[in-house]
Structure 1
C-alpha cells in the first residue's frame, strides 16, 4: 500500500455543502431514527482529547519531536569480578546476567564501542571470561523525561531483545500529558522495563487513542526504536483495524478506498476534518461484514497515518463508527433497530475501534513479523446484539 495518488481537489465550501446535503437526505429518507432520543453523549460538540496516530513523514516528525521531552543524564559506572561459577561464559552473556537493568543487545553494543571493558581493554562479545577477571561498564544514558514508573499490568503479545508489542486496553492513555500525568502506558513500561528510561517515551514508536484498543509497537533499544519509526515513515509497517460502523454493506463497498485530505478543524482546533488544504490521507476498507441491514464490521487498513484518520474518513462518507462521540453524533442510529440494539448503540462508551493486526520488519533480523490480537469483549458483545436475529442469506 505505498502508491501515492493525488487526492481529488474539492473546495471546503463544496465539502461542507456535500456533507449537509447527505445529512439532509438521511433525515428525509428515514435513515436516521428518532434522533432526539439518542443518548446526549453522542453529540457532535465534544472536542477530541487524544490523537490516534501520528506516524509518517511530517506527522511522525511531529511525534518524534513531542516524545523528546526533557533530556536528563544518568551516569552508569559498575564493576563486576568474575566468579568461579561464571568462568567460561561469553562477555555479553555474563554482562546480561550481572547488569540486569539493560538488555543483552544494549550490552553487546557497549562491548563493541568500549563502554564495557574486559580487564581494562576492549574485547569482542564472544570472548570467554576467567575467574578473577573484571568487567567494567561506564556510560552515560540520556533520560528523556521525568515520568515515573508505576506497577500497572500490561498485556505483552510479542517480545524479543529489540521489540515489544503491547495490546493496549480501552481507557489507558499512551503517554503522560495534560490531565494524564499518571496511569499511562509509559508509566507501566518504565516499571516493567526500567532500562528503557533512556529512550524517548520509553521506546514508543506510535500511539492510539485512549478509547481505541489494540496493538502498539515499542522499541527496546534506541536503534530499534529509530528503525521502526523509519519503517512507519516509509510505510513498511502495516496496521489493520476492526470497527463497527453505522452503514449498509452495499454502500460501504462503494468506498473501498477513501482518499480525502485531512487537516485541523478551523474552528474546533482539537478536531480534525476533511479539507482541501489538509494533508494526503488514504484509508482502505479491506473487508465489509454485514451485522444487520444497517450496521457492518469493517476491516480497515491505513496507507497514511493522519490524526484520527479512520474516524474522520468514516464520518466523512456518513458511516461513522459506533460510540464515536466526536465524529459520530446522531447518525449512529439507523432504521430497523430493536430496543436492545438501540440501547447497545446509545450506551456504548467508546468508539468501537480496535487495532488488531500489526506487521513490521524486525529491525535486527530483517524477518517479517505479524502480530494479531482478538477483538475485545465489549465489541464482541456489541456485535452479538447487532447480529441477533439477522440472516443475510
Structure 2
C-alpha cells in the first residue's frame, strides 16, 4: 500500500476538548470513524499526540497536536459477481436490500463466492473500501428479508452506532410451533453452546439479548408472531423462541424433528414437510439516515414460500373449524 492510500490527518486540540481522554477527544474530532477503529489506531501508534504514542485513557490538553497516519481496514479480496439484487432503496450512502432465503451474506469457508458481498462488489464497487464491504448486520442464510448496507464511511460509522445504541428498528415475522396465549419478551443472554460449537444457546455468561414478540395470527398448532430486537445476537430469534419451547417452524438447527399435529390435512402435511428452512423474514427496518437527518422506514414483502405456507395454515384452520 502506498503512502497516498493511508488515512492521514493533523489537528490541534481545541479548548472545548481540553482535559478529556484521548479516545473521547478524537471520537468528537473525527466522528466519521468508529470508536473501536480510533482506539485501534491509538493502540497501534498510528494515532499520536505531539509525536508520541499514548494510551486511550491518557488526557489531552488544549494545543496538543494529534496526528493520524493509518492504513484503512483490510480491503476485501473477494471477487465481484453479477448476482441479481432486489434493491429497495439506494443513494450514495446506503443500499437497502431484500435478501432472498438461501443467499449467504459473507464469504467464508465453503462459501467463497455466490454471496451477497460478491453481488455488492459488482453492484457498487466502492464498498470494497469499507470494513466488511459495508455489511453492518447479517441475516442467516435461510432467513429472508430486509438489510441495510453502508456505501460510505460516514454511513458505516453511523449505522454501527445505531446498532450498538439500539436505535435501529428491526421487525421480523416468524411462524412458530405451538400456540401462544399472548405476547411477551425473552430477556436471556446468548452465547456459544457449551458443547455444540456451531450452535448458539441461552447461557449464563452469554451476551445480553432481548427479543419482544407479539401474536399476529393464531392457527390450531402454530402461531404467526412479530418480533422486535433490542440486540443483534447470532440466531437470536431462533434461540429465544426455542428457549421458550416454541421453535421456529422448519428450523433445521433449533426446531428438532418435524411433529405433525393431530388432524393435520394432507395439504398441510405436505406443506410442513416441504418447508425446510426457518420460517423467519425480516419485514421492516427503521433507521436515522446518516446525512439526510431524518428517520426512514422500509418494508420487504414476504417471499412466496412463506405466503404459501401461511395460506395453507389458514385453509387447514378453516377446514378443521368447519369439521368440528
TM range (shorter): 0.7 to 0.9
Give distance in 1, aligned partners of 2:82 and 2:258.
41
Matches within 5 A, 1:78-157: 144-157=75-88
- Corresponding position of 1:280: 208
Segments of structure 2 that go 5 or more residues without pairing to the other structure are 6-70
Matches within 5 A, 1:201-220: 201-220=132-151
Structure number with higher relative contact order (C-alpha < 8 Å, ≥ 6 residues apart)? 1
Does residue 191 of structure 2 align to residue 263 of structure 1?
A: yes
Matches within 5 A, 1:25-40: none
- Corresponding position of 2:177: 246
Q: Is the 8 A contact 2:76 2:133 kept in 1?
A: no
Match of 1:370 among 282, 297, 318: 297
Q: Deviations over 1:35-79 (max 9, x none)?
A: xxxxxxxxxxxxxxxxxxxxxxxxxxxxxxxxxxxxx66968xxx
User: Structure 1 358/74 Cα, relative in aligned 2: closer, same or farther at 3 Å?
Assistant: farther
Q: Is the 8 A contact 1:282 1:302 kept in 2?
A: yes
- Corresponding position of 2:122: 191
CA RMSD of aligned residues (A): 2.1
Count of residues paired in the alignment: 255
Q: Is the 8 A contact 1:242 1:354 kept in 2?
A: yes
Give distance in 2, aligned partners of 1:74 and 1:340.
65
Give distance in 1, aligned partners of 2:148 and 2:262.
39
Match of 1:388 among 315, 320, 324: 315
Match of 1:231, SS state, is: helix
Match of 1:330, SS state, is: coil
Segments of structure 1 that go 5 or more residues without pairing to the other structure are 1-71, 77-139
Q: How far is 1:280 from its partner? A: 1.7
**How does the TM-score come out when normalised to structure 2?**
0.74
Q: Is the 8 A contact 1:320 1:331 kept in 2?
A: no
User: Structure 1 284/298 Cα, relative in aligned 2: closer, same or farther at 3 Å?
Assistant: same
Regions of 4+ moved over 3 Å? 72-76, 140-143
Match of 1:166 among 97, 104, 120: 97
Q: Is the 8 A contact 2:209 2:236 kept in 1?
A: yes
- Corresponding position of 2:44: none
- Corresponding position of 2:56: none
Q: Deviations over 1:93-113 (max 9, x none)?
A: xxxxxxxxxxxxxxxxxxxxx
**How does the TM-score come out when normalised to structure 1?**
0.62
Q: Is the 8 A contact 1:246 1:331 kept in 2?
A: no
Q: Deviations over 1:343-377 (max 9, x none)?
A: 21122121110001011000112200111011110
